[in-house]
Amino acid sequence: MQDITLHRKLFAEWLGTLFLLATIVGSGIMAQRLAGGNMAIALLGNTIPTGSMLAVLILVFGAVSGAHFNPAVTLSFLSRGQITAREAGLFVLFQILGAICGVLVAHMMFDLPLIDLSVQARYGPGQWFGEFVATFGLVATILGCMKHRPDAVPLAVGLYITAGYWFTSSTSFANPAVTLARALSDTFSGIAPVHVPLFILAQLAGGRAATCVFRWLLEEAT
């Protein structure tokens, strides 16, 4: 099969991350409008579309770019030597750009200001640890499935994020690009910009920890 050009990989990462954020933010807006103040129903309405869309996007773009859509995942692949430093830097850039564009798309669909900085507080040791756990589990899911069941990655990732919305204190952002973009949306899925840096730090730490643990677990236990 002909090698896929870097330009196509970058476009796939941009477009896939765009659709991911359009789904996260758009479903959050729709869920909040329809839930009648019931936060559990609103969260459920945000969870199901996000997990479902992730599975779809990985199926669509996995053969093109690997369907990272997440700097923590890209950095894990970089540390494992599965992507070059130049490619990783460009992947992260296009993921961030795609995430921002996805927020703009969601706001346009719901007639909201294109940029509306969030005031929603997501702060504290419990939520930071929640992001560490969420990202550790996400990277672990990807690496574990890729070792023995690569065909199961789309479903496993979608199911993991669906569960993560509910079992983590932070509702499982688990993605630095997603976190940055959600700061631009003062909606159900938003996060105040001032709280973004520690979320991202926890996510990067969780991704790195999972990479190290699963390098030992999977590559020695053969």
Residue type, 70: N
Over residues 169-193, the mean pLDDT reads 98
Domains and CATH numbers, the chain: 6-220 (1.20.1080.10)
Q: How large is the average pLDDT for residues 97-122? A: 98
pLDDT of 1 over the 80 cut: no
> What's the pLDDT tens digit per position in 133-169?
999 999 999 999 999 999 999 999 999 999 999 999 9
Report whether pLDDT(2) > 60: no
75-81, long-range: CB within 8 Å, 24+ apart, which pairs?
A: 75/204, 75/207, 75/208, 76/139, 76/142, 76/143, 76/207, 76/208, 76/210, 76/211, 79/208, 79/211, 80/211, 80/215
Q: Distance between CA 80 and CA 47 in Å, rounded?
A: 31
Q: Tokens 């296009």 map to which residue?
A: 94
